[in-house]
């Protein structure tokens, strides 16, 4: 049952990304171009994602287990540290340069062609190698 719900959730998420324009790299880059041809339409997508999640988080805070029975993990302490800031900066720069982030990058694999595949594999390499960056910055062997 979990796999069926995961499949339906993933398909609905991918459809939502496609319909909202989040897989259109020009639209995303237009959203991030504050001093040029700024396209504010993705603000509605962001608002449409944030508002339902606020409700879902409030409901989840009152529950011990998820609908399918798995335990809901404790809420982590909010920590604003160097790793979060540097990681966010890398994410933002990559998003601005390419116009994709991980969710839309997976959604666009079905029709994005060679560039989408290239970005997807580069993204996987970055995800796999993120543990080595602090070691390289300190000069320690990886």
The pTM for the full model equals 0.68
Could you read off the pLDDT of 123-132 as tens digits, one per residue? 888 888 777 7
pLDDT at 141 over 80: no
Question: Cβ-count burial of 136 within 10 angstroms (0-12 exposed, 13-18 middle, 19+ buried)?
Answer: exposed
The residue extents of the domains of the chain are: 2-138
Which carries the bigger pLDDT value, residue 107 or residue 137? 107
pLDDT band at 115 (very low <50, low <70, confident <90, very high): confident
**Size (the chain), residues:** 142
């Amino acid at each position: 049952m979990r796999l069926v719900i995961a499949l339906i959730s993933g398909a609905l998420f991918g459809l939502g990304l496609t319909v909202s324009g989040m897989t259109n790299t020009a639209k995303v880059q237009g959203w991030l171009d504050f001093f040029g041809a700024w396209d504010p339409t993705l603000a509605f997508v962001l608002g449409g994602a944030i508002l339902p999640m606020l409700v879902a988080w409030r409901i989840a805070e009152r529950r011990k287990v998820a609908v399918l029975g798995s335990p809901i993990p404790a809420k982590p302490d909010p920590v604003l540290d160097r790793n979060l800031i540097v990681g966010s900066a890398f994410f933002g720069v990559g998003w601005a340069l390419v116009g994709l982030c991980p969710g839309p990058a997976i959604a666009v694999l079905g029709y994005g062609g060679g560039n989408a595949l290239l970005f997807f594999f580069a993204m996987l390499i970055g995800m796999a190698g993120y543990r080595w960056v602090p070691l390289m910055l300190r000069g320690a062997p990886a």
